[in-house]
């Protein structure tokens, strides 16, 4: 299509509206208001911004962007638009733009799936370690601003090896999926549960949007109570047996709890997230050694001066 930069009107298009499911080749070119109404509401600001940039495109430059448009069947299609200068006035300003549009919905869906797969566990669909670290780093940065403590819970299933040995890996996988669901139900929206190993899960419990005490001096105690209470609910959630193929499997969980201290200057360092996970991991092994099916809270070290 060829568009007038000043008015936004489409001067010419191929009259082939197959991209959006409209087959009327006799229809008049759409005006700017009509076109924008077909753009997804979340994409309109970006769409307008690229339209504004179009008047400043150099001859050797191609302006590319993607946005969603409404198809005749009611679905949203990802459209890639490539713009180049078509005509300039005597002063050299762009007055007409040539645009080529392609439906890239399948390509966008494939890219989204690849991005999802790179950050999620294939079996449980939970975040993997990479996404866990990203979310934990964001939580730690906020903890420094809000002066509140984030809890990290490291969970390891007790007796899972016996399930694999007696029932086979298919039964073990089914149990892991159910374990992931039980962990999801314990958390609130905004918290994170990730699978980081065979039968190992890590939870990030953030204190925001939970009850906050009136006295600021007790915030630290309150935040720690939140983390410990979630750990207790996890242990309780694994009290009931897992039933797979009409067979009951007794699998409990050992939980290590560690807290990121907002007073520690290194709390926002990229390496601090891994350190807190390691602290929770070490606490989990203490829970294992103390008899399993229980929680252990890591001893807090003095914050860095």
Cβ atoms of 32 and 4 within 8 Å: the answer is no
Of 121, 158, 191, 199, the active-site residue reads 199
Beta strands in the chain (DSSP E): 2-4, 10-12, 63-70, 76-88, 94-103, 150-158, 192-195, 200-205, 242-244, 247-249, 252-260, 295-297
Going by C-alpha positions, the residue among 15, 21, 1, 31 that lies closest to residue 76 is: 21
- Burial of residue 275, with CB atoms counted within 10 A of its CB: 0-12 exposed, 13-18 middle, 19 or more buried: middle
Measured CA to CA, the distance from residue 14 to residue 30 in angstroms comes to 12
DSSP for 133-193 reads HHHHHHHHHHHHHHT-PEEEEEEEEETHHHHHHHH-HHHHHHHHHHHHHHHHHHSPBTBEE
In this structure, what DSSP letter does residue 210 have? S
**Helix 270-289 vs helix 129-146: angle between axes, to the nearest 10 degrees?**
110
Cβ atoms of 152 and 275 within 8 Å: the answer is no
Max CA separation in the chain (angstroms): 85
- How far the first Cα of the chain sits from its last, in Å, is 63
Torsion angle in degrees (nearest 10) through CA of 167, 169, 172, 178: -130
Q: Is 199 noted as a catalytic residue in this protein?
A: yes
Q: What are the residue numbers of the active site?
A: 199
């Amino acid at each position: 299509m060829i568009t007038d930069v000043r008015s936004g009107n489409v001067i010419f298009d191929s009259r082939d509206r197959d991209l959006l499911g409209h087959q009327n080749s006799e229809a008049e070119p759409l005006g700017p208001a009509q076109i924008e109404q077909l753009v997804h509401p979340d994409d309109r600001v970006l769409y307008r911004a690229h339209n504004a940039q179009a008047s400043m495109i150099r001859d050797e430059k191609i302006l590319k962007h993607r946005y969603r448009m409404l198809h005749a069947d009611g679905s949203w299609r990802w459209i890639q638009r490539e713009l180049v200068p078509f005509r300039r006035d005597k002063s050299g300003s762009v007055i007409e733009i040539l645009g080529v549009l392609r439906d890239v919905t399948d390509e966008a869906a494939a890219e989204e799936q690849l991005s999802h797969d790179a950050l999620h566990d294939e079996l449980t669909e939970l975040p993997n370690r990479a996404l866990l670290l990203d979310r934990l780093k964001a939580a730690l940065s906020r903890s420094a601003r809000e002066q509140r403590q984030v809890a990290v819970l490291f969970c390891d299933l007790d007796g899972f090896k016996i399930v694999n040995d007696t029932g086979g890996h298919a039964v073990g996988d089914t149990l892991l999926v159910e374990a992931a669901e039980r962990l999801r139900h314990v958390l609130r929206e905004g918290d994170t549960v990730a699978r980081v190993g065979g039968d190992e899960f890590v939870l990030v419990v953030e204190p925001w949007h939970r009850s906050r005490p009136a006295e600021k001096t007790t915030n630290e105690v309150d935040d720690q109570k939140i983390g410990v209470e979630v750990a207790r609910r996890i242990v309780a959630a694994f009290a009931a047996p897992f039933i797979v193929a009409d067979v009951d499997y007794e699998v409990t969980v050992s939980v290590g709890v560690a807290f990121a201290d907002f007073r520690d200057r290194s709390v926002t360092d990229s390496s601090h997230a891994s350190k807190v996970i390691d602290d929770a991991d070490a606490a989990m092994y203490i829970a294992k050694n103390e008899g399993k099916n229980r929680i252990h809270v890591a001893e807090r070290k003095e914050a860095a001066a």
